[in-house]
Structure 1
Amino acid sequence: MADFGIIHISFLPAEGMALFPFILIKKKTYKTDALLIRHERIHLRQQAEMAVIFFYLFYLLNYIFNLLLYRNHRQAYLNIIFEKEAYTMEGEVDYLRMRRPFAWIKFIF
């Protein structure tokens, strides 16, 4: 697995994060964590198809809505539609190759 575009940042508040066009990871060993890297690559695809800025805006709005709904950070985060797609599909090795644009829409409900 190529690690081009993967940046190690030890003080990252999460294990990994997609910040277009890079994947940020908390520990160097995560470069070989196929599941984590695939999860973040799904986010990169989501960001690209939403012209990046709209992804971040919609992500934030979805999180705030969920926080009001669930009143719990973890539940709000896990129910962000982009996270639902990434967590559900991160185990599928060929997912990004066969993924249709805007596939996250099916995770709204």
Structure 2
Amino acid sequence: MFLIVSKYLIPKGYRGMTVFPFVILRERKDAGLPTLMNHERIHIRQQLELLIVPFFIWYFLEYLVRLVQYKDRFLAYRNICFEREAYANESDFEYFKHRKTFAFLKFV
């Protein structure tokens, strides 16, 4: 995992984004937030499981489906299965010890 700090690459309202093998943060201080970094590590695992490009295709298509469903960009984002898994487990620092492969499927 490589860390990049750039306020220009992260959309307003967000703190970070993961594009394997990079975690891109808006501010350097956010690298010290264990919960945020765990959230981004979960995304790294998801991307590896789906071989990166299919992850982003699925992510984008599910975002569009959720946008039609909820008619709200924030709710659409929060209900993408990858985000649901990451938010549900970002505070569990032992999560990778018991996480099963393709665990995000429980959140579809």
State which of 5, 9, 18 in structure 2 corresponds to 1:8: 5
What is the number of residues matched between the two proteins? 105
- Deviation per CA, 1:3-40: give whole Å up to 9, x if none: x5111112221200001111000000011110011001
State which drifts further: 81-90 or 13-22: 13-22
| Long gaps (5+) in structure 1 | none
- Deviation per CA, 1:44-80: give whole Å up to 9, x if none: 0000000001100000000000001111001100100
- Percent sequence identity over aligned pairs: 37
Pairwise CA RMSD: 0.9
Give the aligned partner of residue 31 of structure 2. 31
Give the aligned partner of residue 81 of structure 1. 81
Q: Secondary structure at the match of 1:92?
A: coil
Distance 1:7 1:33 in 2: 15
Give the aligned partner of residue 65 of structure 1. 65
- Report the AA paired with residue 5 of structure 1: F
- Report the AA paired with residue 50 of structure 2: M
TM-score by length of 2: 0.94
Moved over 3 A (4+): none
TM-score by length of 1: 0.93
- Report the AA paired with residue 42 of structure 1: I
